[in-house]
Chains A and B, each alone.
Chain A
């Protein structure tokens, strides 16, 4: 079945720097890749997603890139701010089921 690996598990950056989180997936049939941000004790919030028919998507300071051949996708956050501090999860869909398989999560700390 689908397996999603996420790295790094923790990431600390200075305010204003960029942060990159990477994920790999195993099922080449997966075609939908969302990223969620979860603050402590709160619900996961969708921040950006990408489908397999595009290689990159951007929304203000956040961008996601997808390499279908290598089966990996990455989240890029530019000009980080302290409020970006949270746990970020990548996920990959299992075709025809609607299920999402989540990565292990990355704890991002943005130091002011």
Chain B
């Protein structure tokens, strides 16, 4: 149990377009999902916390109008990078908290989405 999927795995887009990334918990219900950004050879930087049925909570310095998060169901959260620019190119990873195994605080990660903005 505790499998998290993410789609797409890789996306290339033109500057100015918007990109939507989906994060799904496949075998458990996740009331809370998290979105991270990871630069090459760097650590995971928390961008926002996504709670089902409510507005996302963004970390300091993360533009909420730039990174739109929707958590419409207990198994799906989406991150939309609006008007993407080359500096938005990165590895975006989601995680979901819950699952039958482990502590309730345990986060299980999706496989990540590599975004390249040209």
Interface residues of chain A, those whose CB is within 8 Å of chain B, are 32, 34, 36, 41-46, 49, 51, 89, 93, 97-105, 107
Interface range on chain B: under 10, 10 to 19, 20 to 34, or 35 or more? 20 to 34
Contact A44 B43 (CB under 8 A): no
User: In the assembled complex, how far is the CB of residue B118 from the closest CB belonging to chain A, in whole angstroms?
Assistant: 20
CA distance A25 to B4 in the complex (A): 28
Most chain A CB atoms below 10 A, which of B44, B93, B110: B44
Question: Is the CB–CB distance between B32 and A98 below 8 Å?
Answer: yes
A8 to chain B, nearest CB (A): 14
> Is the CB–CB distance between A49 and B49 below 8 Å?
no
The verdict on A98 contacting B49 (CB below 8 Å), with A43-B111, A104-B43 known, is: yes
Which residues of B come within 8 Å of A, CB atoms? 4, 32, 34, 41-44, 46, 49, 93, 97, 102-103, 105-112
Nearest-neighbour CB distance to chain B for A85, whole angstroms, equals 15
Q: Report whether over half of chain A's contact residues are helix, strand or loop; otherwise say mixed.
A: strand
Nearest chain-B residue to A95 (Cβ)?
Answer: B105
Q: Please tell me which one of the listed residues A41, A46, A102 contacts residue B106 in the complex, with CB atoms under 8 A apart.
A: A46
Given A49-B106, A89-B44, A97-B49, 12 additional A-B pairs, CB 8 A: A34-B106, A36-B109, A42-B112, A44-B109, A46-B102, A46-B107, A49-B102, A89-B43, A98-B49, A103-B43, A104-B43, A107-B41
Shortest Cβ distance from B1 into chain A, in angstroms?
A: 13
What CA separation (Å) do A93 and B102 show in the bound complex? 15
A105 to B32, CA, bound (A): 24
Q: Give complex CA distance A57, B59 in Å.
A: 32
For A102, the chain B residues whose CB sits under 8 A away are 43-44
- Shortest CB distance A53–B (Å): 11
Q: Is the beta-carbon distance between B103 and A49 smaller than 8 angstroms?
A: yes
Q: Does the CB pair B102–A43 fall under 8 Å?
A: no
Task: Please give, as numbers and ranges, the residues of chain A lying within 8 Å of B46 by CB-CB distance.
Answer: 99-101
Asked whether, in the complex, the Cβ of A105 is within 8 Å of the Cβ of B42, the reply is yes
Which chain A residues lie closer than 8 Å to B43 at the CB level? 89, 102-105
Q: Are A51 and B103 in contact (CB under 8 A)?
A: yes
